[in-house]
Structure 1
């Protein structure tokens, strides 16, 4: 008998795609820990890479080729082919042609896989303008190899054709000799019972003079050819299948392009996957986007975290005027304390490299594929990609558009270098715009950048919500009470997506109570498992939706500080406080609180109100009336006395 600690070995056939395996389970249906799953065999795959056209006439094409070689050495295909046009050519100088050939061969010489070329028009046509001039075709045979041949790989056969036999003749076609060779090569390939595909530079099926449908297509169908792949047009495209044969035209890898990728123009690699079961699949990937295992190192990631946590490197210092009190654009200065805790200098800016904006703020973030391969606006480099992280964490219901619209900041207004392990105070001139209604906290999108161990500029996003100097004006009734937002003053990507709660403050008719009315958008009202008198921990981090009220005044014997969890069973407001709560399924809840606070004390008081949102999860998010959390306060102002 096996002991409980013995290994359980489970042998199974290959599971269907996307389906979990059938793990060994106990009598209660729970998967048994410690088992060994022997996965069933799957078809073997042979991956073949294809380099598209490189010709540009400009030096900026070569970095894409070099990046492609780096990609391929990470992917490690079984073989690498081209579709031709490896040199600029069209020259009368064999010396220049050889220099260009050296440049290409030096690049592909760094490949870890076998390399098989295809001849293109740029590789073989002479600059003498004499059709049939074989000078450079012979150079090609000496430097690169034959112009038509086949390669028998483990799981596929590749036939390379020559699409420029006329060597400058405007009439495209295949010679009888090449067709005869193709017929025999296809017969041999078909006997292997494995995928077959053809490579050529020009898409010869597009030229009427070739008579493809009469001379070539029948041979392909008879042999069971899977695909034909060509280049030349510098535009990726997929032609319709004919007789079970796929037709593909690839784009460029360093070649000249001038249009959008959706127009088929991109620097890319093409891959052909062939399986032991006879399947073939063609797919493409932009150059420079295969990331090495050390794309980001531990040392650089430690720097990133140090600039973000436990406190962001950029912190506010002081308060700005309340935009709701302004009647015209008002100049102000936003002050920040910048602490650089890392071992390299940082640069603090509002205009980091790579951030592309729209009218509402940052939209996408440009990322270079690999170090040293260039960034937007430079003259060379491999592809990068755009990250939508900035837009994903931005949402208008709580911050973003309205928060940014309160501020006008000139380009270049914040450009500060901060040495390693140092702290400085910086000032940013801003213009505050007058606002009305429910005013959000003004937001500045700050960035701290540093140069990492690979020489790249790394931007760290530090959105900063600026404290404002606000007075809470009490109304005589709800109709004339200002609606004030309750905000997440400290930015977090985990902010909940509901709109901000709002508060209205009024004075009771008898002048003895402060009345607080809360409107809380909340799709899920959460209760704690049980209620007990809240200690400091529960006040700071309740396990339920909650309201916390803090009031200080010299006229009070002790500060007021209480927490109410309106949906927790058994929770009641503290002595003397009247609280009524109503819910609206799926939309939120309201709370009406009457707090003993005579006008004599209120005139000297300051207040903070926090609203906690739990949503039946581990985490609870606080939003506060004033910045600084439980330590924050805003002054209360009693209602203006009406004249009689």
Structure 2
């Protein structure tokens, strides 16, 4: 007899009679080289398939294997960007890299979760930041949809006599879109809500004050209507800035007034937010509450692989289930860019060591002084950025400067000199020399390719 244990990839061979002798075989593994089971922990069911028919499957070969075909039900992908702001203004470069990544994937659409600009300012600065954000996002090949966060609507200084009622609410709706709205796409309902309406009595906008973190009656009525519009859809997705379900300074308004509505709807699949600048997952009552990290916002990078990083989500939607995965910004590889020519030049750069010349002369008792001069050449058709660091395990060396950065255009070179001093005897057993450590980035049109680190031993003539 024979039975297959799929979960453990074992084939059990029962009692076999060979020439009248019975032998009990040990379990034989189908995967003798596999040392983990990470691929076996699924969040969803296997996809529905169909048997191949002449209409959909063609071959001129004969085989006993029947290849199941994917079901032709509609499926689509959308992306979600975390916070752009709450960090340095140079974070727009991370945002641009996220746009570059997503354009390689081409989802149907991109959602955001707020904090699009740094804000906390007045009109002139706000408008400049808005234009910068929109100029980058317009390069997306697909439509994108805004969500308002505190950085997008908070005005500073608060004692400014020019501060309008609602602070930057009017600016936001004039240049980004409505503070709350919904839209339909492929039997799914996307709902955007606003989590910085402020204290209804004082008008204060403050995400640390629970009174200012309640949904207004007006917006709650909208949410009820939007959910009703999507009642026959396969999925409903909600997007806002503040993850109010976490409670704490947000109070209990979400738990008491919003979550029951979403639960009652029966088809709210996921709710997405940002603000806290790290990833988090808090499912409740069949609803997946998902918090994103950043696409250029302030990032502590405490434990990048545990969600403290610049990243975006890709969500694959099928009628009966949804898949979600996070991708670090800048990690998508451009297949069409990696040509034979590009590879050859990158390999050439990786194999090249800097040219080194040295001068070292006595400068006193057991003291040697001199220079190490290096030439970094760029033999490629693209510019390179580099960092060059002199290092030694021998603490008697003094090396200045301790590193240098450079940018070399195609076909050009750059020379740099380090001043070195050695206090001690270079011919004793404890002497160790200097190594030059070269880190390079190959700057192609859409990608910075990190070249493997190159180490070069610096040769000196030792005194007799």
Instruction: Using structure 2 for the length normalisation, give the TM-score.
Output: 0.62
CA shift for structure 1 position 302: 2.1
Matching residue of 2:6: none
CA shift for structure 1 position 408: 7.9
CA shift for structure 1 position 220: 1.2
Residues 41-62 of structure 1 show CA distances to partners (whole Å, capped at 9, x for unaligned) of: 1465322112222223642121
Query: Residue 229 of structure 2 is aligned with which of 176, 182, 188?
Result: 188
- Does the C-alpha gap of structure 1 residues 44 and 444 become closer, same or farther in structure 2, counting only changes over 3 Å? farther
1: CA distance between counterparts of 2:118 and 2:439?
43
State how 1:27-106 maps to structure 2 within 5 Å.
39-42=68-71, 44-56=74-86, 58-93=88-123, 95-106=124-135
Q: What SS is found at the alignment partner of 2:223? A: helix
Q: What SS is found at the alignment partner of 1:158? A: strand
State how 1:395-434 maps to structure 2 within 5 Å.
none
Q: What SS is found at the alignment partner of 2:141? A: coil
- Does the C-alpha gap of structure 1 residues 46 and 433 become closer, same or farther in structure 2, counting only changes over 3 Å? farther
Q: What SS is found at the alignment partner of 1:80? A: strand
In the alignment, does 2:327 pair up with 1:285? yes
The higher relative CO (CA closer than 8 Å, separation ≥ 6) is in: 2
On the 8 A contact 1:330/1:433 being kept in 2, the answer is no
Query: Residue 222 of structure 1 is aligned with which of 234, 255, 264?
Result: 264
State how 1:368-379 maps to structure 2 within 5 Å.
none
CA shift for structure 1 position 341: 11
Matching residue of 2:36: none
Residues 501-524 of structure 1 show CA distances to partners (whole Å, capped at 9, x for unaligned) of: xxxxxxxxxxxxxxxxxxxxxxxx
1: CA distance between counterparts of 2:378 and 2:300?
45
Q: Which stretch of structure 1 is more off in the superposition, 245-254 or 255-264? A: 255-264
2: CA distance between counterparts of 1:117 and 1:64?
18
2: CA distance between counterparts of 1:421 and 1:211?
63
Residues 507-548 of structure 1 show CA distances to partners (whole Å, capped at 9, x for unaligned) of: xxxxxxxxxxxxxxxxxxxxxxxxxxxxxxxxxxxxxxxxxx
Which consecutive residues of structure 1, in runs of 5 or more, have no partner in the other structure?
A: 1-16, 20-31, 317-328, 362-403, 423-428, 437-441, 468-644
Matching residue of 1:197: 237
On the 8 A contact 2:86/2:115 being kept in 1, the answer is no
- Does the C-alpha gap of structure 1 residues 271 and 139 become closer, same or farther in structure 2, counting only changes over 3 Å? same
In the alignment, does 2:302 pair up with 1:260? yes
- Does the C-alpha gap of structure 1 residues 174 and 210 become closer, same or farther in structure 2, counting only changes over 3 Å? farther
2: CA distance between counterparts of 1:305 and 1:249?
40
2: CA distance between counterparts of 1:83 and 1:345?
36
* RMSD of equivalent CA atoms: 5.2
CA shift for structure 1 position 114: 1.0
In the alignment, does 2:204 pair up with 1:168? yes
- Does the C-alpha gap of structure 1 residues 197 and 355 become closer, same or farther in structure 2, counting only changes over 3 Å? farther
- Does the C-alpha gap of structure 1 residues 34 and 120 become closer, same or farther in structure 2, counting only changes over 3 Å? same
1: CA distance between counterparts of 2:293 and 2:192?
18
Matching residue of 1:299: 341
On the 8 A contact 1:344/1:450 being kept in 2, the answer is no
Q: What SS is found at the alignment partner of 2:283? A: strand
Q: What SS is found at the alignment partner of 2:282? A: strand
- Does the C-alpha gap of structure 1 residues 305 and 161 become closer, same or farther in structure 2, counting only changes over 3 Å? closer
In the alignment, does 2:171 pair up with 1:139? yes
Q: What SS is found at the alignment partner of 2:242? A: coil
Q: What SS is found at the alignment partner of 1:212? A: helix
Matching residue of 2:136: 107
CA shift for structure 1 position 256: 2.4
- Does the C-alpha gap of structure 1 residues 302 and 128 become closer, same or farther in structure 2, counting only changes over 3 Å? closer
CA shift for structure 1 position 265: 3.7
2: CA distance between counterparts of 1:124 and 1:217?
25
On the 8 A contact 1:238/1:249 being kept in 2, the answer is yes
On the 8 A contact 2:82/2:274 being kept in 1, the answer is yes
Q: What SS is found at the alignment partner of 1:226? A: strand
On the 8 A contact 1:132/1:168 being kept in 2, the answer is no
2: CA distance between counterparts of 1:450 and 1:97?
35
User: Of the two, which has the highest radius of gyration?
Assistant: 1
